[in-house]
Structure 1
Amino acid sequence: MKGIKSRLIVYITLVLLLIVLLLEGVFIGAMHSYYLGTAMETLTSRATTSATFFNKYLEGYSINERARYILENLSREESSKVEVLNPQGAVIINSFGFSSSEPIDTPDVRSALGNHTGTYQNMKPLNGERILAVSVPLQEFGTTIGVLRFSVSAEPLYNVIIKIALNAAGVGLLVILFGFGLSLIIAKRIVGPIQQLTQIAKEMATGNFTIRANKQHNDEIGTLAVTLNYMSEELAKNEKMKYDFISSVTHELRTPLTSIKGWGETLLVGDLSDKEETLQGLEVMTGETDRLIGLVEDLLDFSKFQAGEMKFVLQPYDLRGLLEELLLQFRYRGQTKQIQLYAEIPELPLPVNGDFNRLKQVFVNLLDNAFKFTPVEGTIRFTAFIENKRIVVKVVDNGEGIEAEDLAKLGTKFFKGRSRQSGSGLGLAICKEIIELHDGLLKVESELMKGTTVIVELPLYPVY
């Protein structure tokens, strides 16, 4: 019973068995009622007709005289046992010519002695057989003076009923066997595709994402096959993206390490008295070390977000102060790179409930990207405003932009765009996670060779 197939077979067989047993029971019960009811009606009709006749034409005769007359005028074709009983229930005479002083105390006789027609049917054999009996009162001027009783053996009827019941049981058994065979076919047709999908899922678990499931029917299993194929395609894409990401990060780590190693060897074998060369080498090594630190921090942050271990310290503060601080910091960078930085920050407070350091990380990353991808003599616009009870911050540049195909994947894990600029490609994904954990929204709009707009929306903290 561990497999779906075996459970289906057992359940279908049990249902068929219950249905067959129920129908068999109803059929046998109806047949029993029909045969015995018909026999009882026939017996009642004959007994009532006979009693009516004798009551009408033997009026004035004693019960013993009537008994002899009834016995002498019985039809030779009469198959029933006919008995005439006195008011005490004793048999005066029966159709075999016998009498008995022992009273018959059955429901039909008691009913007839009470001036009503009575019937009797014993389900358990009495003296070796089951009988049907009808008793009708014999009357004299409205007074019951005896009982006319017709009885017949029910054994032939029960033999017929048992024979029919056995035949019905045989038919029922054939139906169950047929249903069992049908359940095997149904279970195979249902479980077969599931077993195929299970095998395909196992192949995918080993890393084989090229395998595909066949959609056999337009049902739930067919939908599952399509979903499994879609999942396989997405996993293959993610796997390729992950390998590309690892390759990119490896390259990004190797570049500063190579530079640091190269300058380190130069300084070791060079003339340390050449102060200018030494300072230049140390400056390059310091810059490359900062790049390494940034890459490692991005990787650490990303792994924390993926594991759900990133902690936030939320507190209300004015976001405007942070934005003005970053504006001063990046204005100098704009001057050194010959990039114009325009800012529009309102004089009104921008209250937000957030983690100061994490939000600073977001805006530093966005401004850093804008400067990285904006050419010399380009422009960057840094604006903030309140709209619909939300703080909206925009970073707009006229740099190289992003291709439409890459724009749809931007911010997803393991994705790095096709830009030749250095970077892990994790920064924007981390920024998106931080903003979403602040119940905010980060959107990117871009057009190739025309520029990029990054929009950050944060809930406005109510100040009372």
Structure 2
Amino acid sequence: MKGIRSRLVFYFGMILLLIVLLLEGLFYWAVHTYYFGTATEALETRSTTFTNFINKYATGYRLKDKARYILENVSSQEYAKIEVLDLNGKVILNSYGFQTGELVQTSDVMEAIRGQKGLFVGRTPQSRERVIAVSNPLTFGSEYVGVLRYTISAEPLYQAVNRIALYGLGVGAGVVLLAFALSLLMAKRIVDPIEDLTNAAKQMAEGNFTARAPKRYDDEVGTLADTFNYMAAEIGKNEKLKNDFISSVSHELRTPLTSIKGWGETLLSGGLEEPEETMLGLEVISKETDRLIGLVEELLDFSKFQSGEMKLSRELLDLREILDDMHVQFAIRAQEKQIDFQLALPSAPLTVMGDRNRLKQVFVNLLDNAFKFTPKGGTISVTATASEGRLTVTVADSGEGIHPNDLPHVTEKFFKGRSKLSGSGLGLAICKEIIQLHKGGFLVNSKQGHGTSIMVELPLALGPEENFPAS
């Protein structure tokens, strides 16, 4: 019985079988008690009544005379066998008119000889017939002289009780069979959805992430099926994102490697004799190498976030210094692309408790994306404001914007937008993780064709009153 189905059927069936057997036993006992109790009570009543009558109205008769008097006064409708016995238990006369001389020493006779009413239910020593016998003492004056014994056969009673018990047993067997059928149905309702979940899980283990478990019933197992299907959908989505990411990263890695290899072969074949071509090649190799380093660093950061190993080196710092550095760092790029790059900072310090390098990484990534997607002649602005103990830095551009269907997913890991300029799909996800580690907020707003703005919110290390003293 390794399966749940077989165990459910067996245990449920055994419990019902025990209950039915118990009820059958109680039913048999009740029927037996009723039939035999009624027959015994009726026999005792008739025997006691007739014995009292004989002892009262035949007081002067000897035992043999009493026996004849009893036979003469027995009702013709009396179905019990009547016997008169002496004090030794010997039958003097019976209701059939025979003097058998049989010696009867059953418990009822022994009780009657001692002057008490006796009852016997059992088998006769001679015929082994099951009988019910009631014996009462006969008196002569104040002495006990004999026994008056009423006997009826108990075989018809046993037959009637057994017949009723058989009917009850048949009903019980039907109940047990019905219970087993119901337990099979109940086990099927429980086990089949679990088997569906198992089969779906096996298919997923084999790589079929489209497998789903059908929801048969609206119960706990149905809820489990919904949860499983949700998990399967998420795994399938993540698997697709992962595959897209691998494809994207492979492409991102192949492009700089191709450039490096091409220029390396060009420089080798040229023998480094042309200084201008050599410098151009070295510049390309240097830029593509930086690009490769950036991709590798993103992968390493992602791995740290996934394993929970990302640690922050917190210190008190003025965020204006980082933003000023970013403005200087991207100023040349802005000139090259003829982009209006603006920086608006308050005069008061923007003190935060954070990791300088990680925060710098966030704003480098945001500005790099802004320059990547902003066309020539566009605008990029970085503004910082502080209010109620919170610092908000907004990086806005007038670039191509984000497609509405992509906007809810741009901060998800491995997600690549529809733009051909999209990178590895990890940059914004890593930025969001870093800001959340600083107990801050990260919000992306965009309208396709009108640009994108990303708001980074961080807690100030000092209250707003201390950051912005009254002037």
TM-score range, shorter chain: 0.7 to 0.9
Q: CA deviation at 1:183?
A: 5.2
Pairwise CA distance, 1:227: 5.8
| TM score, norm. by length of structure 2 | 0.76
CA contact (8 A) 1:216 1:222 kept: yes
Is 1:342 paired with 2:338? no
Checking the alignment, whether the CA contact within 8 Å between 2:136 and 2:149 is kept in structure 1 is yes
| 1:394–1:453 CA contact under 8 A, matched in 2 | yes
What pairs up with 1:142-157 in 2 under 5 angstroms?
Answer: 150-157=150-157
Structure 1 equivalent of residue 449 of structure 2: 449
Question: Are 1:382 and 2:378 matched, yes or no?
Answer: no
Contact 2:107 2:120 in 1 (8 A): no
Counterpart of 2:469?
none
CA distance in 2, matches of 1:181, 1:427: 61
Give 1:290 deviation, angstroms.
Answer: 1.1
Q: Is structure 2 residue 313 aligned with structure 1 residue 324?
A: no
Per-residue Cα deviation, 1:32-63 (whole angstroms, up to 9, x for no partner): 122112212322332343355446x5286578
Gap runs ≥5 in structure 2? 464-471
Q: 1:311 offset after TM fit, Å?
A: 3.8
TM-score under structure 1 length normalisation: 0.77
Q: Which amino acid aligns with 2:309?
A: M
Q: Structure 1 residues 357 and 332 mapped into 2: Cα distance closer, same or farther (>3 Å)?
A: closer
Match of residue 395 from structure 2: 395
Matches of 1:15 and 1:300, distance apart in 2: 60
Do structure 1's residue 24 and structure 2's residue 24 form an aligned pair?
Answer: yes
1:132 is matched with 132
Q: Cα deviations across residues 221-247 of structure 1 (Å, max 9, x unaligned)?
A: 666666665555544443332222222
CA shift in 2, pair 1:111/1:401, >3 Å: farther
Deviation, structure 1 residue 200:
4.1
Q: Deviations over 1:272-304 (max 9, x none)?
A: 354444333323322221111010111122123
Counterpart AA for 1:37 = G
- Residue 405 of structure 1 and its aligned partner are, at CA, apart by 0.8
User: Offset at 1:157?
Assistant: 1.8
In 1, are the aligned partners of 2:89 and 2:109 still within 8 Å (CA)?
Answer: no
Superposition CA RMSD, Å: 4.3
**Is residue 361 of structure 1 aligned with residue 357 of structure 2?**
no
DSSP 3-state at the match of 1:442: strand
Specify whether residues 312 and 184 from structure 1 end up closer, same or farther in structure 2 by C-alpha distance, changes over 3 A only: same
* Structure 1 Cα separation of the partners of residues 266 and 279 of structure 2: 12
Given that residues 109 and 147 in structure 1 are in contact (C-alpha distance below 8 angstroms), is that contact kept between their aligned partners in structure 2? no
Contact map agreement 1:113 1:147 (CA 8 A) in 2: no
Matches within 5 A, 1:136-215: 150-177=150-177, 180=180, 191=191, 194-210=194-210
Partners in 1 of 2:258 and 2:340 — Cα distance? Answer: 30
Residue 35 in structure 1 maps to residue 31 in structure 2: no
Q: Which runs of 5+ in 1 are unaligned?
A: none
- Matched residue type, 1:269: S
Change (3 A) 1:365 1:167: same
Residue 415 of structure 1 deviates from its aligned partner by 0.8
| 1:324-357 superposed Cα distances (whole Å, 9 cap, x missing partner) | 23212111144320433334457366454x5554
Distance across 2 between alignment mates of 1:409 and 1:52: 106
The DSSP-based 3-state class of the residue aligned with 2:78 is: coil
Residue 419 (structure 2) pairs with residue 419 (structure 1): yes
1:409-440 deviations in whole A, cap 9, x for unaligned? Answer: 12222211122325212011222333444554
- Percent identity among equivalent residues? 51
Question: Partner residue of 1:408?
Answer: 408
Q: Do the aligned partners of 1:381 and 1:397 also contact (CA within 8 Å) in 2?
A: no
Distance (Å, rounded) in 2 between the aligned partners of 1:263 and 1:14: 83
Say if 1:260 and 1:284, in contact at 8 Å, map to a contact too: yes
- The separation in 1 between residues aligned to 2:195 and 2:277, in whole angstroms, is 70
Deviates most, 252-261 or 104-113: 104-113
Q: Give the aligned partner of residue 309 of structure 2.
A: 310
User: Using the alignment, how far apart are the partners of 1:295 and 1:72 within structure 2?
Assistant: 126
Superposed displacement of residue 23, structure 1 = 3.4
Q: Distance in 1 between matches of 2:265 and 2:43?
A: 126
Separation in 2 of the partners of 1:435 and 1:107?
105
CA deviation map 1:203-262 (0-9, x unaligned): 333233455666666666666666665555544443332222222212211222222223
Q: Measure, in 1, the Cα distance between the counterparts of 2:191 and 2:267.
A: 71
Q: How far apart in 1 are the matches of 2:181 and 2:278?
A: 89
Residue 177 of structure 1, CA deviation: 4.5
Which deviates further from its counterpart, 447-456 or 249-258? 447-456
Residues 154, 419 of structure 1: CA spacing in aligned structure 2 closer, same or farther, 3 A cutoff? Answer: same
How many Å separate the matches in 2 of 1:110 and 1:348?
120
Task: Mark the CA change 1:379 to 1:456 in structure 2 (over 3 Å): closer, same or farther.
Answer: closer
Matched position secondary structure for 1:405: coil
Number of positions where the alignment pairs a residue of Structure 1 with one of Structure 2: 451
Comparing 178-187 and 28-37, the one that deviates more = 178-187
1:291 paired to 2:291: yes
SS in 1 for 2:30: helix
Q: Which residue of 2 aligns with 1:281?
A: 281
Report the AA paired with residue 160 of structure 1: A
The equivalent of 1:247 in structure 2 is: 247
Aligned-partner SS, 1:18: helix
